[in-house]
Amino acid sequence: MSLKLFHTSDLHIGMKFNRYPEDVKELLVNARIEILERLINLANERQCDIFTIAGDLFDKISRIPKKDLMRVIKILNGFSGEVVLIIPGNHDYDNGVTELWEDFQNNITEKILLLNHNKCYDLSMFDINATIYPAFCDKKHSKENNLQWIKKLDKLPDSKFHIGMAHGALKNISPDLENKYFNMSEEELLNLNLDLWLIGHTHIPYPNNNKVKFHKVYNAGTPEPDGMDCNHEGSAWFIELDENKNVTAESVKTGRYKFMDIDYKIEDENDFKNLNRKFYSDNILARINLNGRIDRKLYENRYNYYNELSKKLVYLDIDDTNLGIKITKEVIEKEFTKDSFPYQFLKGLYEDSQDEDALQLAYELILEVKE
């Protein structure tokens, strides 16, 4: 008999998004919970036996509002499979005195299992012939991962499937230059001889393929993008182990909002129109760094293009400090008195220099003095 799992992590429910306007902030905060319901529905459509959350279901260990906690639990109870498995991550770590997880456990049903002890969890009570090995986080930062208790096992329990769940930086996949995020390597995980590893922490999925066969280590990535450095669409894994423990997996696109952080050069009006076409959805939050030199009329009308684009997006942040007026002979003659020093200086620089940046800088400095 095969085993079907839906694997996610890093929902960060409770994230504040304080740098955004209030209306946008509200949308993004709600999206953290709404995505959980979408994930449960996707798992139900695929008739999964197990729904897994490999850490950072919540953004912080502080208590969240009771209504939000109960909403999360209600959504999790909507899973039509056998059991929901959750491990604490480094943001919602469990050190044994965390009120968040005490509140959570006091309100969950038997369908939801919090794996917050260093022990083997037998799923036979859920009619699943599998054992789960959690390497959860008991603190925010650690130079050591929590795999040690598994390494010390003399032998594995007598189950058909053996599945590890861990939260931490995956070497060569997750950036962890200071080695403080429960760092682990794929080789280290495979040496423990389990059938499958479900990882959380890094907000990008691994492996980076839509369909995968015979791979044993899967990092979920965040299902709902959460910032300008998160440029994917959000994803989760649908994973199946067959009778012979062969693994097949499919990446499932999940996110509602998409963040785009781009640098863009403007030279004429068509570039503004093409920029508008880049944004194909109204669920995009964009940060755009503009650069280039354009004629004065276009430069003075640039806010019309910004406003048009802003109406199309959830959020728009434009930095045009590197966008300037293209200095031409006509501009110099129109703005400065003939035979004046600025006129002579800029005219000479224009005729003798191919350095547009130098000409632009000289023009801007002269305008500053003039003001």
Predicted local distance difference test score (pLDDT) of residue 355: 67
Q: Residue type for 313, please?
A: L
Q: Which residues make beta-bridge pairs with 164? A: 133, 197
Predicted local distance difference test score (pLDDT) of residue 354: 64
Predicted local distance difference test score (pLDDT) of residue 331: 77
Predicted local distance difference test score (pLDDT) of residue 326: 84
325 phi and psi angles, rounded to 5 deg: -80, 135
SS3 per residue for the chain:
CCEEEEEECCCCECCCCCCCCHHHHHHHHHHHHHHHHHHHHHHHHCCCCEEEEECCCECCCCCCCHHHHHHHHHHHHCCCCCEEEEECCCCCCCCCCCHHHHHHHHHCCCCEEECCCCCCEECHHHCCCEEEEEECCCCCCECCCCCHHHHCCCCCCCCCEEEEEEECCECCCCCCCCCCECCECHHHHHCCCCCEEEEECCCCCECCCCEEECCCEEECCCCCCCCCCCCCCCEEEEEEECCCCCEEEEEEECCCCEEEEEEEECCCHHHHHHHHHCCCCCCEEEEEEEEEEECHHHHHCHHHHHHHHHHHCCEEEEEEEEEEECCCHHHHHHHCCCCCHHHHHHHHHHHHCCCHHHHHHHHHHHHHHHC
- Based on its alpha-carbon atoms, the radius of gyration of the chain, rounded to whole angstroms, reads 27
Predicted local distance difference test score (pLDDT) of residue 371: 59
Q: What is the C-alpha separation between 248 and 204, in angstroms, rounded? A: 19
Series of mean pLDDT values for 10-residue runs along the chain (371 residues): 96 96 96 97 98 98 91 98 98 93 95 97 97 98 97 95 97 86 97 98 95 97 95 95 97 96 96 92 93 92 96 96 84 80 79 71 75 59
Q: What is the C-alpha separation between 306 and 270, in angstroms, rounded? A: 14
